[in-house]
Structure 1
């Protein structure tokens, strides 16, 4: 599949965009007219630069409001087209995108439209240019891709074809199956974009909220499958209007964009394999495409991997570890020693493993606050899973190992969290733990508890400009499924929360997008950031949750070890009683231990949180029945209590 991207998707100058697209591995680009008009490069220099970078110049766009106009405007439009066609000749480009008219001063007459498009096609032919006619979803009279195709068919000119844009088609819920009946030589160009399902006017939706494939909710695999079955062989190009992408680092966004097309290509191939093609009306064409591998456009696939079986470990990096060690010991974790060759500690409770990575202090000499730095996942084949991630543009993060030490396959997530792939074992043990053992006289070993504990979920806070990228990354690289997202109220605004999980919930990863807030008239800062935000990267409040069989017993034991619980307001427990009519003795226990509670039709959920150390805190949970949530009604309480606690610390 030939890949492309419109320059409008990216930030920066045209030169910077072209360089980023080439580095990310795109085959070609669409030049958005504004990028050319504002560039200091001449058309000839752009052409030469594209050749040097190995980039095709696939489409010039957009040419607007040409068709359905009164006669006096047609001459002006043809004159404008002639100038653009001459410009395209200097660029070495042969295809232009012409959008259906959106102006109110236009005429609803298909005969007139066909006549005017024929005139444009004839002019284009004189310049060696092809016209790809596109139905805008908000077009005044032509807003349906089948309508646009009927006009192209009626004109029947070799220089006029159609452009199929997934956003304009899927935002209007048009059926994509008719694409298969289109003559492939009349499909001049294909553009793809994903989007979340929103209730708003389609123009605003298009201009601000498109995302890359895999980051929204459109059925793009089905769309691409129909395009392939039609016999199309040209570029599949991204056209994404998104306010965040156009403010983000151009190189990083280009890599995210390329990852999305790699993912889409695989999804399209899988859709073709799973969906048998309908019998074509043309018997001659029926024999041409008996199976996916015989389609003119080949769709590549990636190494196939199963979803992770569970968390193997979570790693917290810190220069000052005393507070972290104390907190883990109070929760009931046992110290399993230091690594024999690295400045690393291992703490365990049941099958829940936490690694403390003792990182050097930053250059200022100030201690680095604890922050979640890595996650380990149990997978069937770490080597195959790592190969898939690398093909999806995930940067490799090798682990330095000596003889007789476990070799982990690793790569970096968009928020810089390191992901390590571990060989899972049926009994839940980890071979690499044998590398620890020094210093086992730690006092925490005296009171370890909760033998059935496991890592239940991990919450990672995402920088606002990379949230959509993270969703695609974990979907494509780790085979996690995105669940419906929620918005949680906090003292600093709404926090968007996106759960990524395996089908059996062996892995639950929660991505939080927190708002930016402004303090004391200063510059905006991340609302998730605590008062001690230093370290190898900008850190955020994040947490690791551990599931136990008996939370009340775990809480009592932790209290006996000196754990200071976050103080939950009495108002919460009064509301809890009003909502659930709990047994008075049980409610008193919840209040005594500062435990939170939720219930739904599937079961019950008990949990409590620790105070924050640096940017990390811990949660202990107990799931009863088949409860599958995270205590969402309690999230605003947790945010408010933590907000007060952190700001009390900041003022003392």
Structure 2
């Protein structure tokens, strides 16, 4: 395996997911987060739909209905203006969920395509050209898996009319496509020029290597030795089989080992354990997590991909109970992680400065 050429890595553009700065349960005001992200040197954000709703309440004086697309487009346009002031692009709109595979004639299918058309309007208003679609976690009995490819193909057609792209992500708690191989197989079958992958260090390692329901925090369906062998074979396959132009971005976060293993059952809201884990236990790399983030990132870089790295963390602390941080310092810490991460991927030794160390609690 040839080493990565470090000279190609510092120019990788970096983005930050707007929804994921500050306490996950009570994010600071959006404009404060945009200021912190811009100050830290990021050049774009992933704009989250919940942030459009929350900023809409500030802007409009009432909570906008999630399907009031005329209002939401006005809010999205206002957010674009605020991003423009701070020299931030809007790289992607996310997270579009539970879209594909509904049964013909179902209310779920009707709702999915109504939402798709509304979100495309929002994309036009905020000036982004990528829609992130997470692999559905709708209960499998409610789906017709024969429609997954057809639905995504139809969505590609709707997006293509506007020059937009679909970034398909494997959510590791998905009921039908939890691994990168699952979504890559689907993307190949969709076979449209405007569909590619949103890869994610948490979704890859958190699904194939780690498990929040075990005492060890690792998958225990095989031996530790076999787990490592199987996981690194999967990463080699990723590096050798996915064309670089079919990767639209790499999202980056780590994961805390949960203090008490989760139940393997879905919770009262129907959220499966890895979904609960994702919500509160995702810090920056080098800040108390245990996933092999460098291994996943290196595999993605081995494809030749040098596009967007986007930091998407949901850091409620090691106990998952929430933590207060200085968001300006936290965003800067994320920016610092980028330098350390790409250096490590290339096998380059760099001195660890104080700025690269663990994020401090802020009182």
TM-score bracket, shorter-length normalisation:
0.7 to 0.9
> Gaps (5+ residues) in structure 2?
1-11, 23-27, 60-74, 210-230, 263-272
Aligned to 1:104: 139
> Could you tell me how far apart the structure 2 residues matched to 1:204 and 1:155 are?
30
Q: What's the counterpart of residue 189 of structure 1?
A: 249
Contact kept in structure 2, 1:20 and 1:250, CA below 8 Å? yes
Distance (whole Å) between structure 1 residues aligned to residue 111 and residue 358 of structure 2? 49
Q: For residue 142 of structure 1, what is the aligned residue in structure 2?
A: 177
Distance in 2 separating the partners of 1:9 and 1:178: 30
Counterpart residue number, 2:336: 259
Count how many residue pairs are aligned between Structure 1 and Structure 2. Answer: 286
Aligned to 1:22: 38
Aligned 8 A contact 1:70 1:106 in 2: no
Residue number in structure 1 paired with 2:71: none
Q: Secondary structure at the match of 2:80?
A: helix
Equivalent positions of 1:135-214 (< 5 A) are 135-172=170-207, 173=209, 174=231, 175-180=234-239, 181-198=241-258, 199-200=261-262, 201-214=273-286
Partner of 1:9: 20
For 2:141 and 2:245, how far apart are their aligned partners in 1?
29
- The residue that corresponds to 1:33 in the other structure is 49
Which whole-Å deviations, capped at 9, do the CAs of 1:578-615 have from their partners, x for residues lacking one? Answer: xxxxxxxxxxxxxxxxxxxxxxxxxxxxxxxxxxxxxx
Matching residue of 2:303: 230
Instruction: Compute the RMSD of aligned alpha carbons.
Output: 2.3
Structure index of larger Rg: 1
Deviating runs (4+, > 6 A) in structure 1? none
Query: Bigger shift: 201-210 or 92-101?
Result: 201-210
> What is the match of residue 53 of structure 1?
86
**Greater relative contact order (Cα < 8 A, sep 6+):** 2
Deviation at 1:29, TM superposition (A): 1.1
Q: Distance in 2 between matches of 1:61 and 1:208?
A: 18
Q: What is the CA–CA distance in structure 1 between the aligned matches of 2:179 and 2:187, rounded to whole Å?
A: 13
- Which residue does 1:268 correspond to in 2? 345
Q: Could you tell me whether the CA contact under 8 Å between 1:64 and 1:100 is conserved in 2?
A: yes
Tell me the distance in 2 between the aligned counterparts of 1:68 and 1:44.
31
**1:75, CA displacement in angstroms?**
3.2
Instruction: Report deviation, 1:110.
Output: 4.4
Per the alignment, residue 76 of structure 2 pairs with: 43
Contact 2:103 2:143 in 1 (8 A): no
Taking structure 2 as the reference length, the TM-score comes to 0.73
Q: Out of 96, 100, 103, which is 1:70 matched to?
A: 103
CA contact (8 A) 1:10 1:246 kept: no
Deviations 1:19-61 (A, max 9, x none): 1001011121111211111114532232222223221211111
1:94 to 104, 126, 129: 129
Cα distance in 1 for partners of 2:194, 2:91 equals 15
Q: Does the 8 Å CA contact 2:136/2:177 hold for their aligned counterparts?
A: yes
How far has the Cα of 1:246 moved from its partner? 6.4
Check whether the contact 1:221–1:267 (CA below 8 A) recurs between aligned residues.
yes
Alpha-carbon deviations, 1:189-229, whole Å to 9, x = none? 21111113344332222111111011211111221111111
Q: Secondary structure at the match of 2:346?
A: helix
**Which has a greater percent of strand?**
1
- Contact 1:189–1:234 (CA under 8 A) maintained in structure 2: yes
Task: Please say if residues 110 and 151 of structure 1, whose CA atoms lie closer than 8 Å, have aligned partners that are also in contact.
Answer: no
C-alpha contact 2:134 2:169 (8 A) present in aligned 1:
yes
Distance 1:233 1:109, change over 3 A: farther
Structure 1 CA distance for aligned equivalents of residues 192 and 14 of structure 2: 27
Distance 1:178 1:110, change over 3 A: farther
How far apart, CA to CA, are the structure 1 residues paired with 2:46 and 2:324? 19
TM-score, normalised with respect to structure 1: 0.42
- Partner residue of 1:84 out of 100, 109, 119: 119
Task: Name the CA shift for 1:203/1:414 in 2 (closer, same or farther; >3 Å).
Answer: closer
Q: Distance in 1 between matches of 2:186 and 2:334?
A: 32
- 1:133 positional shift: 0.9
Deviation at 1:109, TM superposition (A): 5.1
Contact 2:18-2:30 within 8 A present in 1 as well = yes
Shift in Å at residue 105 of structure 1?
A: 6.0
Task: Give the corresponding residue for 2:267.
Answer: none
Describe how 1:242-321 pairs up with structure 2 within 5 A: 242-244=315-317, 247-270=324-347, 304-305=350-351
Gaps of 5+ in 1: 271-300, 306-387, 395-412, 416-462, 467-537, 539-652
Task: Specify the SS of the correspondent of 2:315.
Answer: coil
Name the CA distance, whole Å, in 2 between partners of 1:114 and 1:108: 12
Task: Please state how far the C-alpha of 1:262 moved relative to its aligned partner.
Answer: 2.2
Cα distance in structure 1, aligned partners of 2:248 and 2:358: 35
